[in-house]
Structure 1
């Protein structure tokens, strides 16, 4: 178990890296190199500069990570919410090695592909149809990750509406449908389209691009490409917007339709959402919302794009939308597809979109008929082989059922340790997506303190007041209890500091 006593090496001692026992670097060497060369995601230079701030992992086994100095950590995040099966599975590494030895890469463009990509698309289409009858005959586009999957889904939506007109024309009547609506508190990725959907990302994306035109222009429906509604959850809904007799699900659905009408139905291409908001703090949605949203989107010819990047195989179902019994038009998955062993993702969409977007073509191939979209790593044979094996493991070991069971057990442990603490507003969970909502914006401080002092890896959300935990299926009750106990100690210390500060302010 990770403790502060597990630090086996002293400052300046050599760290043995790689094979053959060759001394290549000390921790201080690695730290200095990291400060000089690497940019960290969602980081700040000060996080790398402290005496023991930087954590350099070297190996992992199950739910345990080990750094280059021998200190052990409990990985309550599962990598970046991907390590469903835990670390160090040799069977997945062997699949990658064997495929890499046979065929390491091939093109997936035009009329080229590889056997693993074909098998993976068939497998995912079958899983989607198993979950939703409407997905029977669904098509699949393979990606290397979630953010680029969202980009591809948006391009697919544009393609669908562009081709909705008369046979053989370049643009149909729906060519004006380009806008996207999403939830506040969302996270869909960091590339341009996904980042533009998150209102808190003000330094890049569409908001940054339009800043020079002035707020009035940026916020006007005629210029605005991205807009948001409140998520249907009691802590994230602006209650002042609710009408008498409405629950949060009904209020959010009404907001969605009002926003579509405000923007102009002829301009809105899709509503993009997470079934359970991940980065936002494992925020599940009111059960009334999605059935109503489905009716609204159908009424106004707006596609529903479910961001299942984090929720895939993590909620006690293959797809998070199974929680609500509503089939989206398009689903984007990633993370759990290979369980972290290689990057992979997919866009799965209903057959009617294919029929309009790609079959409603002229008999002569035109440039406008070509799918002007692709990624270098789409359908990568090694990633596809690992994904197929990961899906086999999840299926054969009944891990979807285990996920639901472990999630309930983990949530009970977390609630027993944290509920009632002064700084905790809510503890919630769906499957192994677990969230702790705090009363103030101290989540990043909590994340760092529990990491550096107790060896617990978890994630502060970008909203700064939620903590996210997505432990591997293989984490034991004993290990998770250690996570919860450590988190309780840190949260209690912050509560004591807050009360002390309040007391001092009153004295003055």
Structure 2
């Protein structure tokens, strides 16, 4: 559920004499099929918000209001909005070569970016398969895992294990990996072979009494248990995010990932790190798997690679994974028209240069504790149950009762997550993400150029809006 799925203007705080519907809002209401959003009743009283421009950490809408981008677009705009140097690189590349596929060919930007990503990735993850975005990268990883084992003479290994509540994409394959039943029910039957294990939500496992190490050992053991139950001869891959997005920035200790790595090695199962969100600086490093102490067999990534100045994703595989594909006569019969698009690849190279030149990784590392501490101040609100996350990737879990950790019922969720919060936050000047795909959370992931002033602004807006939200429930 995205923050643009806002409620009626009166409920979000606007006055009855709101400005007339803009031409773009009118056109969108009549013709635009929005993503992950309800489209009923998008009229003058409840128009689709129109964002017209961005600069740095801020956005402006068609009513001239300035809004703090507390979600980096959608965990994407690492370098901030309005970076003309990236736009100029795109224009230059488009004027030289706007498009050519990597279907048996390459372009200079695609070749250079593949080399760059290989150097950034941990271990011997040296082989880069480009996609248009993150879901396609996850789809590609599962297909690679299946063919990898067929080429090795183990054709029964096709299943994939992922974590409860985890989101991995919307294609049929990636959705089968996703651990969100409500998101999948309208599209079933999906690709067979996806199985779920518990995640590492420490707040929702009070029996561990705050012991992240104990929870990590328990959760990792559930992965081995699932492999044994399904039969190791049938399991191809385990897919996990270094910090799980859906459910609200769920972290785990490095010992958890080390244990999962051992389990995968013991049972000849590929370990896939879904770094679509966590990659490219959101945790202060190029890839968060390295920060959390493990080397996967495959990394999937997208989003921050270009800071949103061009659509691009990738699957990065180890030398072990590529090896059987290098045999004579072998092809990976899979690809995307826009994968490795030369304009997007050129922009990605320029974006990675910019991030290093301005030390955006260092900015996150030096300010991450302050970001967490600023959000922690909200714990005094009775509606706030937990504040968690890492780096510039944080979540606030909202509860009905802080003492018992009781969450909200369906009607309260409807009123909060799809009613009051998105519109109220946006009207107050903050774009972020109320979400209830697990328990009810607000997610925050600002551009990596953000600092203490932006943290304070976020905290004040959240405090005001959550105070009102508590009155509602």
Fold conserved between structures, TM > 0.5: yes
Which shows bigger deviation, 446-455 or 116-125? 446-455
Q: Do the aligned partners of residues 446 and 257 (structure 1) sit closer, same or farther apart at CA in structure 2, a change above 3 Å counting?
A: farther
Equivalent-residue separation in structure 1 for 2:157 and 2:66 (angstroms): 51
Task: Identify the residue that residue 304 of structure 1 maps to in structure 2.
Answer: 271
Matched, 1:55 2:49: yes
User: TM-score w.r.t. structure 2 length?
Assistant: 0.88
Matched, 1:32 2:26: yes
Matched, 1:322 2:290: yes
Residues 354-374 of structure 1: CA deviation (Å, up to 9, x unaligned): 112x1234xxx3xxx221001
Matched, 1:492 2:473: no
Structure 1 residue 492 displacement after superposition: 1.3
Q: Is the 8 A contact 1:117 1:379 kept in 2?
A: yes
Task: Identify the residue that residue 23 of structure 1 maps to in structure 2.
Answer: none
Q: Secondary structure at the match of 2:460?
A: helix
Matched, 1:195 2:195: no
Equivalent-residue separation in structure 1 for 2:189 and 2:429 (angstroms): 40
Task: Identify the residue that residue 396 of structure 1 maps to in structure 2.
Answer: 357
Structure 1 residue 237 displacement after superposition: 4.6
Matched, 1:467 2:442: yes
Matched, 1:264 2:225: no
Residues 18-65 of structure 1: CA deviation (Å, up to 9, x unaligned): xxxxxxxxx443223212211111111247346144210111101111
Task: Identify the residue that residue 390 of structure 2 maps to in structure 1.
Answer: 430
Residues 452-504 of structure 1: CA deviation (Å, up to 9, x unaligned): 43021001233251111110122342233122111111111222333xxxxxx
Equivalent-residue separation in structure 2 for 1:482 and 1:48 (angstroms): 30
Task: Identify the residue that residue 336 of structure 2 maps to in structure 1.
Answer: 375
Structure 1 residue 449 displacement after superposition: 3.7
Q: Do the aligned partners of residues 140 and 426 (structure 1) sit closer, same or farther apart at CA in structure 2, a change above 3 Å counting?
A: same
Q: Do the aligned partners of residues 194 and 322 (structure 1) sit closer, same or farther apart at CA in structure 2, a change above 3 Å counting?
A: same
Residues 280-326 of structure 1: CA deviation (Å, up to 9, x unaligned): 31111133211111111111111000000000121111111122211
Matched, 1:144 2:132: yes
Matched, 1:359 2:359: no
Task: Identify the residue that residue 83 of structure 2 maps to in structure 1.
Answer: 89
Equivalent-residue separation in structure 1 for 2:30 and 2:113 (angstroms): 40
Equivalent-residue separation in structure 1 for 2:263 and 2:103 (angstroms): 36
Q: Do the aligned partners of residues 204 and 443 (structure 1) sit closer, same or farther apart at CA in structure 2, a change above 3 Å counting?
A: closer
Matched, 1:415 2:346: no
Equivalent of 1:109 in 103, 107, 126: 103
Equivalent-residue separation in structure 2 for 1:255 and 1:281 (angstroms): 21
Matched, 1:252 2:219: yes
Structure 1 residue 123 displacement after superposition: 0.4
Residues 422-457 of structure 1: CA deviation (Å, up to 9, x unaligned): 111111221100111111344444541433430210
Q: Is the 8 A contact 1:181 1:271 kept in 2?
A: yes
Q: Is the 8 A contact 2:134 2:302 kept in 1?
A: yes
Q: Is the 8 A contact 2:254 2:293 kept in 1?
A: no
Equivalent of 1:457 in 431, 436, 446: 431
Instruction: Report the number of matched residues.
Output: 444
Q: Secondary structure at the match of 1:95?
A: helix
Q: Which runs of 5+ in 2 are unaligned?
A: 1-11, 400-407
Task: Identify the residue that residue 3 of structure 2 maps to in structure 1.
Answer: none
Task: Identify the residue that residue 5 of structure 2 maps to in structure 1.
Answer: none
Q: Is the 8 A contact 1:150 1:194 kept in 2?
A: yes
Q: Which runs of 5+ in 1 are unaligned?
A: 13-26, 165-171, 211-222, 499-508
Residues 197-238 of structure 1: CA deviation (Å, up to 9, x unaligned): 22324464797117xxxxxxxxxxxx9611111112312459
Q: Is the 8 A contact 1:6 1:72 kept in 2?
A: no
Q: Secondary structure at the match of 2:442?
A: strand
Q: Is the 8 A contact 1:230 1:238 kept in 2?
A: no
Equivalent of 1:286 in 253, 257, 268: 253
Q: Is the 8 A contact 1:330 1:350 kept in 2?
A: yes
